[in-house]
Amino acid sequence: MAELLITGGAGFIGSHTCLVLLEAGHRLVILDNFSNSSAIASKRVAELAGVAAQERMLVLEGDIRNSNDLDRAFNSMENGIAAVVHFAGLKAVHESVQLPLKYWDVNVAGSRCLLEAMQRHNCRTIVFSSSATLYGYPEQIPIPETTRVQPINPYGQSKAAVEQLLDDLACSEPGWRIARLRYFNPVGAHSSGCIGEDPKGIPNNLFPFVSQVAVGRRAELQVFGADWPTPDGSGVRDYIHVMDLAEGHRAALEVLQREEPQLLTLNLGSGKGHSVLEVVQAFEKASGQPVPYSINQRRAGDAACSVADPRLAAERLGWYTQRSLSDMCRDSWNWQKANPQGYSQKQQ
């Protein structure tokens, strides 16, 4: 059992990871400014974890760019904070092209503030949410961690900058225990349907879009490009169930705490690629609902294919994905069906 600070813990990946960490017996402080999430997500995590676990979770509203908020979080536990799982950040690629300063502020300056607070509070263990976006147009498929980092948008640049910052920190002080986890495409929801992905505004990612079409919130899906060099012409991605991803965080924390200080850089993906049209078909099957779509031109900045080589994570963490595309569709649909307006409908 350890005291953990979870930044962005009310968000999509954060909420599912909090549940897994509570179930593993940890004590959590969540720091979130709710700019892209709802406090209801954390309430539901507490309900799912059960009465005994609820006492081990504290939710604080605050910003990672504010050192007072960070100090409040670090001081909230009697025994201090042993490790940080750092999810807080902005993640919309296309918004980042429009608003690069915002992305450098929240993702890079925010991470720097957090790392300064960790130094102040003598905490040297961090799991960082990085992204496969930093591979840009990948040079090989599947993509190993040794592939060149060459982001093609400000979001990817901001993740690469934080990775570099962590690298510099690990070199400057040997005591740091750091995991940089490069996620591929997290989707799905907890099997209860009580927590899931609830993006504000128009979804940027395929799964929430598809499920909002299936539930009747949006008329049709726009497929960007049917002329990619892939088997059916639509883009291919490596989708990972959010519960597999959450379990990957627990495994990374365990390795960091058990082994000597180190810097780990790992892909978290399934190693399997699925095309947009395959996802549409699988979703229709899981939901029993039609998902109408139209074919549009390719979007600038998209790659044909992105699939992880997940072998290093399996070797270092003993972790690999266990849930299939149909599990991802079933669980996304369960969540969407039970919460057609996301968390907002239950706000009272």
Ligand X SMILES: NC(=O)c1ccc[n+]([C@@H]2O[C@H](COP(=O)([O-])OP(=O)(O)OC[C@H]3O[C@@H](n4cnc5c(N)ncnc54)[C@H](O)[C@@H]3O)[C@@H](O)[C@H]2O)c1
Check: CB of residue 278 under 8 Å from CB of residue 329.
no
Q: Is 14 an interacting residue with respect to ligand X (CB under 6 A)?
A: yes
Residue 12 DSSP one-character state: H
Q: Which residues contact 335 (CB under 8 A, 6 or more apart)?
A: 189, 190, 193, 194, 195, 196, 197, 211
Kindly indicate which of the ranges 8-16, 134-142, 209-217, 291-299 contains the residues binding ligand X, using the contact rule CB under 6 A.
Answer: 8-16
Check: CB of residue 245 under 8 Å from CB of residue 253.
no
- Phi and psi torsions of 235, nearest 5°: -65, 145
Check: CB of residue 38 under 8 Å from CB of residue 4.
no
Q: Which helix (H) or strand (E) holds 187?
A: strand 185-187
Least distance to ligand X, CB of residue 159, Å: 7
Interface of this chain with ligand X, residues 82 to 101, rule: CB under 6 A: 87-89, 91
Q: Is 104 an interacting residue with respect to ligand X (CB under 6 A)?
A: no
Q: Which helix (H) or strand (E) holds 313?
A: helix 311-317
- Phi and psi torsions of 46, nearest 5°: -60, -40
What CA–CA distances, in Å, run from 317 to 45, 85, 186, 242, 323?
A: 25, 16, 19, 17, 17
Q: Is 106 an interacting residue with respect to ligand X (CB under 6 A)?
A: yes
Least distance to ligand X, CB of residue 51, Å: 25
164 vs 231, which CB is nearer to ligand X? Answer: 164
Q: How many residues bind ligand X (CB under 6 A)?
A: 29
Task: Report residue 343 as tokens.
Answer: 């968390």
Q: Is 112 an interacting residue with respect to ligand X (CB under 6 A)?
A: no
Q: Is 32 an interacting residue with respect to ligand X (CB under 6 A)?
A: yes
Q: Is 231 exposed, middle or buried (0-12, 13-18, 19+ CB in 10 A)?
A: exposed
153 vs 185, which CB is nearer to ligand X? Answer: 185
Give the catalytic positions in this structure.
155
Q: Is 34 an interacting residue with respect to ligand X (CB under 6 A)?
A: yes
**Residue number with the smallest Cβ distance to ligand X:** 11
13 vs 253, which CB is nearer to ligand X? Answer: 13
Least distance to ligand X, CB of residue 237, Å: 10
- Binding-site string for ligand X from residue 64 to residue 83, where x marks contact by CB under 6 A and - marks none: xx------------------
Alpha helices in 76-145 (DSSP H): 93-98, 100-103, 110-120
Q: Is 66 exposed, middle or buried (0-12, 13-18, 19+ CB in 10 A)?
A: middle
- Binding-site string for ligand X from residue 301 to residue 320, where x marks contact by CB under 6 A and - marks none: --------------------
52 vs 253, which CB is nearer to ligand X? Answer: 253
Residue of 19, 42, 59, 110 that binds ligand X (CB under 6 A) = 110
Interface of this chain with ligand X, residues 168 to 207, rule: CB under 6 A: 183, 185-186, 205
Residue of 6, 18, 19, 36 that binds ligand X (CB under 6 A) = 36
CB atoms near residue 171 (< 10 Å): 10
Q: Is 244 an interacting residue with respect to ligand X (CB under 6 A)?
A: no
Residue of 3, 63, 309, 327 that binds ligand X (CB under 6 A) = 63
Q: Which residues contact 315 (CB under 8 A, 6 or more apart)?
A: none
Least distance to ligand X, CB of residue 163, Å: 12
Site of interaction with ligand X (CB under 6 A): 7-8, 10-14, 31-37, 63-65, 87-89, 91, 106, 110, 129, 131, 183, 185-186, 205
